[in-house]
Structure 1
Amino acid sequence: MWRYSQLKRFAIDGLPLLAPPQSRSVSERISMRITDSDAEGVLVHKGAEVVYRDVKIPEQGVIFTDLRTALAKHEALVRRHLYTVVNAQQDKYAALNAALWQNGTFVYVPKSVEVALPLGAFITADTGGLAAQRTLIIVDTNAKLTYLDEYTSEPFAERLFSSAAIEIVLLDGAKLRYVNLQNWSRNVVQLSKVRAHLARDSRLESLSVSLGADAARAEVECRLEGPGADSEMLGLYFADEGQHYNQYTLQHHVADHARSDLLFKGALRDNSTAVYSGIIKVEPGAQKTDAYQTNRNLLLDAESQAVSIPQLEIGANDVRCSHGSTTSPVPEDQRFYLMSRGLPPEVAEHLLVTGFLHEVMSRVTLPKVAEYVERVVQAKLGVPGVKEKL
């Protein structure tokens, strides 16, 4: 839903397609994140160029490379799935990405193969313009993968619009843990589309994190196409200094006996705004569906605002579905209690925010990701000595 967002913040008028990077070096921030990740494979994208590549995957038929290389070397496999999940007919931003993507990431995990350690891509930039990235992840029958997409940059002068489309295909019995972590610098506007198709008995655990950028819209959708499919959708956002986050989710139940569970939580301060719009859609044949949707917002000052619109579209008569949302300020009695025990205001606020977000973070099964998100939240809250370590 765009009604509560200022469209001019997402305007692309006059922006040129992103030029080649000014430098092919990897920033200290990303170098530290790579070292800390324990990943089995890492790519770093700057626009259309891959400026860092470290792939240590054993020879099990796993393919992990940039999308242009994949099209050249594995054309039949890529074309079989590309644009089948996020296609140009969805809306104008999907069409924009389909027409202009410069590069991206391709991952294929063969049948019954388990990739023990995570794979990941860092998407960054050092100049302004319009950047379009695309990711295609295919997890074959009974295979297993953990994958991280991270968007980050050091501050630079020009305005950047980042368009990201992530297509996820899970075949029968496949399992994927997927993280989309957005921590762009404040001169960036991001619009990302994460969409997954889940076949019989497949499972998706997804986490969408919004911490950076001036404004960002994150669309997270799952389509449960086979009986026994299971999708856990977690989301976390913390907006400050006038940031604007727009979150849209869709839990689309097509098959019977499938389950989805969504929890999105966000904190806001310093005249920031957030919009959440989510739909549980159950098709007429999707009996025995279990679907749950919750959005909660914590307002840290009177100037910040959050809008939450959960929705149900139920076409079957034998389902269990629920949805709910809350938006509330920090309980003053809790703040007073902590400060009465001698805690400074900023420390009390930090404890209240981390406690509020803990419901999401406690369900994140990737400790390194949870630790990094916690550090960024601490930095945004002004906890001494934290920002210098990011």
Structure 2
Amino acid sequence: MSLTDTLSPELVEGIIQQHEEPAWLASERRAAWRTFEALPWPTNRDEAWRYTQLERFSLAGLELVTAPRDRAVSERITMRITDSDAEGALVYKGGEAIYRDSKLKEAGVIFTDLRTALKEHEALVRAHLYSVVNATQSKYAALSAALWQNGTFLFVPKNTEVKLPLGAFHTADAGGLTAPRTLIVLEPNAHATFIDEYTSDEFGERLFASGSVEIILQDGAKLRYVSLQNWSRTVAHVSRIRAHLERNSRLESLTVSLGADAARAEVECVMAGPGSESEMLGLYFADKGQHFNQYTLQHHAADHAHSDLLFKGALRDASTAVYSGLIQVDEGAQKTDAYQTNRNLLLDAASEAVSIPQLEIGANDVRCSHGSTVSPVPEDQRFYLMSRGLRPEVAEHVLVTGFLHEVTSRVTLPKVAEYVERVVQAKLGVPGVDEKL
């Protein structure tokens, strides 16, 4: 992969001028572009990318998407907003916010697009933007830092609870490069639920989506965060989700990969404060040659912190999946309690999964464990179900649903769990389930 004439520093200057951005942000963008140019493209010699099919994440020939072809909100998105029971919703297409709705009643809560936040709450945005995900972390993170055009800003003040979910829905109607961004800040003892969803109808052109999500949880804050990726099949998706947890804060995250041609989810959580907790759930189901890549980091930087990770995936139709995860325990992070599990179910002999769980422990009073499995469907189980009168496709649906239930049963948002199960059913060809979910 190489830089092409379609991406240049002039794009950065164009964004700065178009939106009349403040000097500090312009400086950050220019620095990010310089970092992007300086960093090498990842190769299969890099441990974090060893088994990734890098050719499927190429930017060759893609131009930056600067506007949607139209500002219509598709029926697909409208249905998802309704089904999610969101208290507030934002819809993005082609780098623009095309729909807003908010029923928020809690005083001091800010839920808006980043462009509006920069105008109305610049000091807050400046204090936190790029503090958790920045250009120095990877080639794609640098690209996102330099070229993002819009995104979501959620700020919840101390001792405030937003009871119903808030949602951002990212969609597309044209090919090119887009870089959505999310910034979530919860002050001490604040509570919220946020859903980032990526979905689109088929539009027949290649799209590369390079997203970044920054989460800051201050002392005692609690967040439920969902990243749900169900792009159409001409999309390549890279998302970097990184959270910073302070004392006694808690993050419950769910990362779902169902759509796109190829998708890489980088999910990182830094337990920076004593007593912080992170539950990291992941679910993926690949078919028709899809390639899903997951990289996770549980970084224990403080003592008495807890993290529990469970990622499960099913594959069929010559699809591939890669999971690489690291539990990193710093020298002073005593009394760490950390778990990491990845399990893969292969529905045919042509599909392949690679799982690489890892530990890096610098403290001597910890409890850490990790494990992974890759296995085909047990034929005795398939035979048993079919001997009871189930057709082969129904038997497979029962097996996959049961396998993934360990994840969906821990999702505390019933509407999200129901939607994921419907998409899985559609991919399995269950009669009566809409394939366009």
TM-score (norm 2): 0.89
Letter matched to residue 142 of structure 1: N
2:354 to 294, 298, 307: 307
Deviation at 1:336, TM superposition (A): 0.3
1:95 corresponding residue in structure 2: 142
Give deviations 1:317-357, integer Å, cap 9, x for gaps.
Answer: 00000000000000000000000001000000000000000
Where does 1:309-328 land on structure 2 (aligned, <5 Å)? 309-328=356-375
Q: Which runs of 5+ in 1 are unaligned?
A: none
**Aligned mates of 2:297, 2:159 — CA distance in 1:** 29
2:313 corresponding residue in structure 1: 266
Aligned length: 390
Give deviations 1:349-380, integer Å, cap 9, x for gaps.
Answer: 00000000000000000000000000000000
**Aligned mates of 2:204, 2:420 — CA distance in 1:** 25
2:383 corresponding residue in structure 1: 336
1:214 corresponding residue in structure 2: 261
Alpha carbons 1:251, 1:279 under 8 Å: kept = yes
**Aligned mates of 2:355, 2:337 — CA distance in 1:** 22
Give deviations 1:162-221, integer Å, cap 9, x for gaps.
Answer: 010000000000000000000000000000000000000000000000000000000000
Within the alignment, does 1:73 sit opposite 2:120 as a pair? Answer: yes
**Aligned mates of 2:241, 2:170 — CA distance in 1:** 15
Alpha carbons 1:122, 1:149 under 8 Å: kept = yes
1:237 corresponding residue in structure 2: 284
**Aligned mates of 1:16, 1:361 — CA distance in 2:** 38
Alpha carbons 1:175, 1:204 under 8 Å: kept = yes
Using the aligned pairs only, state the percent identity: 78
**Aligned mates of 1:46, 1:277 — CA distance in 2:** 31
1:355 corresponding residue in structure 2: 402
Q: What is the alpha-carbon root mean square deviation over aligned residues?
A: 0.7
Within the alignment, does 1:194 sit opposite 2:265 as a pair? Answer: no
Which stretch shows the higher mean deviation, 357-366 or 53-62? 53-62
Where does 1:48-197 land on structure 2 (aligned, <5 Å)? 48-197=95-244
Three-state SS of the structure 2 residue aligned to 1:349 is helix
Three-state SS of the structure 2 residue aligned to 1:335 is helix
**Aligned mates of 1:89, 1:228 — CA distance in 2:** 28
Q: Cα 1:310–1:151, aligned 2, differ >3 Å: closer, same or farther?
A: same
Three-state SS of the structure 2 residue aligned to 1:93 is helix
1:277 corresponding residue in structure 2: 324
Deviation at 1:22, TM superposition (A): 1.0
Alpha carbons 1:19, 1:127 under 8 Å: kept = no
Q: Cα 1:291–1:269, aligned 2, differ >3 Å: closer, same or farther?
A: same
Three-state SS of the structure 1 residue aligned to 2:382 is helix
Letter matched to residue 68 of structure 1: R
Give deviations 1:113-153, integer Å, cap 9, x for gaps.
Answer: 00010001000010000000110000110000000000000
Within the alignment, does 1:9 sit opposite 2:36 as a pair? Answer: no
Letter matched to residue 335 of structure 2: K
Alpha carbons 2:288, 2:318 under 8 Å: kept = yes
Letter matched to residue 314 of structure 1: I
Alpha carbons 2:263, 2:292 under 8 Å: kept = yes
Deviation at 1:38, TM superposition (A): 1.1
Q: After TM superposition, which residue ranges in structure 1, 4 or more long, deviate above 4 angstroms?
A: none
Letter matched to residue 242 of structure 1: G
**Aligned mates of 1:388, 1:219 — CA distance in 2:** 27
TM-score (norm 1): 0.99
Q: Which runs of 5+ in 2 are unaligned?
A: 1-47
Deviation at 1:59, TM superposition (A): 4.4
Three-state SS of the structure 1 residue aligned to 2:180 is strand
Deviation at 1:35, TM superposition (A): 1.1
**Aligned mates of 1:75, 1:203 — CA distance in 2:** 27
**Aligned mates of 2:436, 2:322 — CA distance in 1:** 30
Three-state SS of the structure 1 residue aligned to 2:203 is coil
2:14 corresponding residue in structure 1: none
**Aligned mates of 2:402, 2:244 — CA distance in 1:** 33
**Aligned mates of 1:35, 1:127 — CA distance in 2:** 25
Deviation at 1:20, TM superposition (A): 1.1
